[in-house]
Each structure stands twice: as structure tokens, then as C-alpha cells.
Structure 1
Amino acid sequence: MTPDWIAVDWGTSNLRVWAMGSEGVLASAASEDGMGRLARDQFEASLLSLIAPWLGVDVTPVIVCGMAGSRQGWHEAPYRAVPCTPLDRAGLVRVKVADARAAVYIAPGLKQAKPADVMRGEETQIAGALALHPAFDGVMCLPGTHSKWAQISAGEVVSFQTFMTGEMFALLAEHSVLRHGMASGGWDDVAFDLGLSDALSRPDRIGAQLFTLRAEGLIADLPAAQARARLSGLLIGVELAAAKPYWLGQPITLIGAEALCHSYARALATQGVTARILPATECTLAGLASLARQLETAI
């Protein structure tokens, strides 16, 4: 099996690769060799450990998105400034590799001057969503560790805003005083809705609302699963309150993990907004495929 090209999504914690042919995915592989655990001289070996069986005699294009292109990654791929298309072949950075069977290209992220913001990896998912739905004009939200809200018009990212909601959830649930009342699993939709409503109605009281979770655990035996769901509702509610200029009156597409996207869709539905959900991996591959086609045309 020799692919036409190889798609790579290189995150901070994980590395995922796909062998791509004319009909789509031929094979896939993954490892825990994310950017965060590699020195610069280890990237090529980590990549080859997964893709070497797919390489043939001819040179195979390898198109990479994500944190491999960060300043701390394999080779920095400078950010492109918005407004612009999410991806452009002209922005690809060619990386020198010892193995002549692979031609490695890294896609750059996007930057915004005011308010200062950056994204790296999400631009590929946005490009993929636009490849799947070319006529889309509106807002794309990419929930995650650092949630992104991006205004899309005429195939370009006009502006975007990042919220550290996922990271704050992890810090509060695992490292703050709230950790004593949090379950590692379980969920309660009613508790999520309550936290969401409290945050949307009074986002200025988020500090007090958070400590209420601890107090209720001590004096009212608040179940851990309810505490976790309310914490999620509170943080997503504060995010929605701040991101209101993005989603109010706009078509919304959510891109990301299914469970998290459903939480955002549930939250938006309380505000009268119906959001379409697209899987993150499908969008990533569609975005990288759009670059592969551009690269093939150029060659």
C-alpha cells in the first residue's frame, strides 16, 4: 500500500497520521509523541516511526498541521494575518528531512493584531468545514482546551477570539479547592443547565458562583457528578456571555469532540440558536486534503 500523500495532525499531546489515497483514508496510526514531549531533533524519527511502512520508492508529500509548526515545535511556520483564507499553499513551510522518500510541509496558523490572538491547527479544521460546506457564511466555534470563535465571510476568517474555557475547567476541577467535590466521570444535564443559567444571567459573579460549588458540597452534600456538570455550565455560560457578539443572530457551526460540541449546542439552544456539529477529524482531513490538491496543482 503506497498512499498518494500523508496527512498529519501534530498536537501538543498526540501525533496522528493518515495514509491518503484517491478514495480517502487507506490507513491510520497514532502515538503519544506530541510536540510537548519532543526535542526539535526528535520530530523526524517520531514521524517516521509511524509512516515509514507507507513510504515507497517515489517521494510522498506529507502535509502537517498543528503544533509541529509552533515556535517550540519542529520548524516554525509563521502565522498568517487575518482577514485571510484559513489555508493557502503559499504559506506552507518545507522542512528538511534526512529521509528522501518524504517531502514534509507544515501549514501555518493564523494571527490577529487587535485584540491579539493566535490559532494553530484550528485553521485547518475551519478550511475543512468550508471544503465540506463551501457556501457557509457565519461563525464557527471550535470548543476545546482553548475554544475559538471565528467569523467567516466569503471563504475567509475575518476575526476570531480565544477563550481558555477547557483549560480553566481542568485547572479548577483537578487542582483547585473544587477538586474535593468533583467526580472523574458522570454527568447531570439539569445541573449543567443550572450552571449555564447562573453564568449567563450574572457573569460578573463567576468567582462567587464557583465557590458555591465547594460550599454546597460541604453543607448540602452536592453530588460530585452534579458539581462537575455545574462547573462546566458555569464556564461555558461565561464564555457564551463574552462571545455574544459572535453568535447572536449568526449561523453557527461547531467543530470538535462530539460530547463537548453537544454541550455547546445545548447551551446555544437555550439562547434560541441552533448549531450544526461537524466532527473534528473529518474537518482536519478535509482541510489537509484541500492543501494536498493545491500542492499537486502547483507541482
Structure 2
Amino acid sequence: MSRLDWIAVDWGTSSLRAWGIGTDGSVLWAESSPTGMGGLAPEQFEPTFLALVAPHVGPSERIEAIACGMVGARQGWAEAGYRAVPCTPLSPDLTAAPTSDPRLSFRIIGGLSQADPADVMRGEETQIAGFQALNPKFDGVICLPGTHSKWVHVSAGEVVSFQTFMTGELFAALAGHTVLRHSVGGEDWDDDAFAEAVDDAVSRPEKLAARLFGLRAEGLLNGLPAAAARARLSGLLIGAELAAARPYWLGQNIAIVGATGISGRYGAALSGLGVTATLADGDAMVLKGLIAARSNTTEIPT
């Protein structure tokens, strides 16, 4: 039977996930916790991680971990610096986090940066590497939708350029903290309303602010259902993003890497514009990327 070899870690602002990787490369176990790095003081990172993996690690067993995500931010366990594009998504040099437990080696993947226009990514580089591991000949654009959506041009195994959009965060802010919160409640969805809003925003992105208030007005005057209002809000924001990101996706091979729900919406939005995209699961790609990072490192702790 395979035994634990190392631990792959995805540690973001709001969650922590870990996978135990066996000596034969198989995933032996998976653990998750809502203990994201955003709520931890510096001295809390090590005990939080050890508590999560403790059921799977013996008291004298060596623990090697490789992590991606916001755990490497300035406010994280240890700051893992950015590398300027164009470059490969992963570097063989990882940042070692300070540890007090002699069993533990915890290393962090650094992010990527772009000088002009100024932009950064942290965590997505690992998903990109995972997608490339499965699609080594892919040349085109990878879209990574989420709180901060990324459009990334990759060629010859390198990240050439990228652009970030705060679309997911804008949706959450507008739906939860503006007058639109009275109109877009619930989780119901209207596919037709979404498609119409995408088309409207791509065609007339300059009217976005007016279209947003129109959701509230239509609810008051015409009884616009919450499902249609919520879908239209999403469609307007994604459509405005697609209008701005047109130089990235127009005439390119497109892959969408992310969670099933939001990736499906981006795929549907692009399909309405006559663009076909390949969808890949974000969780699977981050794990593939962590595995690639481990095999790519210059030194394996003993």
C-alpha cells in the first residue's frame, strides 16, 4: 500500500484545503477547513495546518507540504514574491515558511506580476500550471472566473500577459450592499435574462450603470422577478467584462478554469458571442498544479 509522501495545500483568504499524496502519486485523503489566512495571526498558521492534517500524520512522521494561494501574501504565513511575466507559471524556487515543529517543511509557490498595466495574481498561476500539465500544447487564453476574474494569454508554456477584473466582487457588493439587494435575493436563475443582459452589456458597456439601476426600477414598476433580476445583474457584469477583455478572447483558443457554476456562465456568455471554450475544473487544476510544482522544485527536503 502507498504511504504518505507529501501534502498539497491550497490556502486562500477564506478556506484551507489539503490533499495527502502517496508515494505512488495517488491522493490518499483530503481535508478542508473554513480557516482561511484572512482570519489568522502569524503565529496561528503552523498550528492551524498541523491540526488539519493531524489525523493522517504520525507523531514522528516527516511532513512535507507545498502550498499555493494567499498563504503566500504579505499578510500570510510567509511572503512568496511575484515573478514578472513573461515567464512560466511555476518557479523551481519556493519560499520556505518559518516552522517550529522539526517534522514540518512548508513551502509556498510565488505569484506572478505584470508591470504595465499593473496587475498581480496569486494562486491562479498554479491552476494555469495544472491545465498546462494536461494540455502541454495549448496556446491561447485561459479565463479563470471568480471573485477576481483573470484573462491570461499563454504561449510556448509561458504566461505572456494577463488582466484582472473585479467582476465577482462587484456582484457580491451590488447584490448585498446596495439598493439592488431588494431585487436580486434568492438563488433562482433565469437563463434567458442572463443571455439578454450579456448581449446588452457587450454591445453597450457604457450604459452599465444605468442598466444596473434599471433592475430596481423594473422590480418596483413591472414586478421583475428576483430570478430574472439576479441573472441580469450577473449578465450585465460579465458582459461588461467580456467587452473589455475582447482583445484577449477574440480569435483565440479559449479555456475556462474554475468552479462548475461560474465557469458554465462564462461558457454560456461566450457561446452567445459565437465563441466555444473548453471548460476545466478549478479544483482538479490546482491539485495538478501543486503536483507539478513539487516535481519542478530544485530541492526536496529530507
Provide the TM-score with structure 1 as the length reference. Answer: 0.97
Q: Does 1:284 align with 2:296?
A: no
Could you tell me which residue of structure 2 aligns to residue 15 of structure 1? 16
- 8 Å CA contact retained: 1:95, 1:104: yes
The Cα offsets for residues 97-128 of structure 1, whole Å up to 9 and x where unpaired, read as 11122211000010000000000000000000
Could you tell me which residue of structure 2 aligns to residue 101 of structure 1? 103
Q: Distance in 2 between matches of 1:7 and 1:94?
A: 14
- 8 Å CA contact retained: 2:78, 2:98: no
Q: Does 1:64 align with 2:67?
A: yes
C-alpha displacement of 1:261: 0.5
Alignment of structure 1 residues 180-199 onto 2, 5 Å: 180-199=182-201
Aligned letter for 2:7? I
- Give the direction of change, closer, same or farther, for the CA distance of 1:114–1:71 in structure 2 (3 Å limit): same
Q: Distance in 1 between matches of 2:13 and 2:221?
A: 40
Aligned letter for 2:270? L
Corresponding residue SS for 2:187: coil
Q: Distance in 2 between matches of 1:18 and 1:102?
A: 16
- Give the direction of change, closer, same or farther, for the CA distance of 1:149–1:198 in structure 2 (3 Å limit): same
Q: Does 1:75 align with 2:78?
A: yes
Q: Distance in 1 between matches of 2:197 and 2:297?
A: 47
C-alpha displacement of 1:58: 4.7
- 8 Å CA contact retained: 2:92, 2:298: no
Aligned letter for 1:7? A
Aligned letter for 1:106? I
Identity %: 57
Q: Distance in 2 between matches of 1:166 and 1:210?
A: 15
Residue 178 (structure 1) aligned to one of 170, 177, 180:
180
Unaligned runs of 5+ in 2: none
Could you tell me which residue of structure 1 aligns to residue 232 of structure 2? 230
Q: Distance in 2 between matches of 1:114 and 1:144?
A: 23
C-alpha displacement of 1:271: 1.4
- 8 Å CA contact retained: 2:91, 2:297: no
Q: Distance in 1 between matches of 2:203 and 2:297?
A: 49
Could you tell me which residue of structure 1 aligns to residue 222 of structure 2? 220
C-alpha displacement of 1:55: 2.9
Corresponding residue SS for 2:193: helix
Aligned residues: 298
The Cα offsets for residues 248-270 of structure 1, whole Å up to 9 and x where unpaired, read as 00000000010100100001011
* 16-25 or 133-142, which deviates more: 16-25
C-alpha displacement of 1:238: 0.1
C-alpha displacement of 1:32: 1.1
Could you tell me which residue of structure 2 aligns to residue 133 of structure 1? 135
C-alpha displacement of 1:52: 2.3
C-alpha displacement of 1:89: 1.4
Q: How big is the alpha-carbon RMSD for the aligned residues of Structure 1 and Structure 2?
A: 1.3
Provide the TM-score with structure 2 as the length reference. Answer: 0.96
Could you tell me which residue of structure 1 aligns to residue 91 of structure 2? 88
C-alpha displacement of 1:292: 1.2
Q: Distance in 2 between matches of 1:294 and 1:119?
A: 20
Q: Distance in 1 between matches of 2:142 and 2:208?
A: 25
Q: Distance in 1 between matches of 2:204 and 2:296?
A: 48
Alignment of structure 1 residues 265-284 onto 2, 5 Å: 265-284=267-286
The Cα offsets for residues 124-175 of structure 1, whole Å up to 9 and x where unpaired, read as 0000000011110000000000000000000000000000000000000111
Q: Does 1:143 align with 2:157?
A: no
- 8 Å CA contact retained: 2:143, 2:255: yes
Unaligned runs of 5+ in 1: none
Aligned letter for 1:286? K
Q: Distance in 1 between matches of 2:50 and 2:299?
A: 26
- 8 Å CA contact retained: 1:146, 1:165: yes
Q: Distance in 1 between matches of 2:139 and 2:297?
A: 26
- 8 Å CA contact retained: 2:165, 2:241: yes
- 8 Å CA contact retained: 2:142, 2:154: yes
C-alpha displacement of 1:198: 1.0
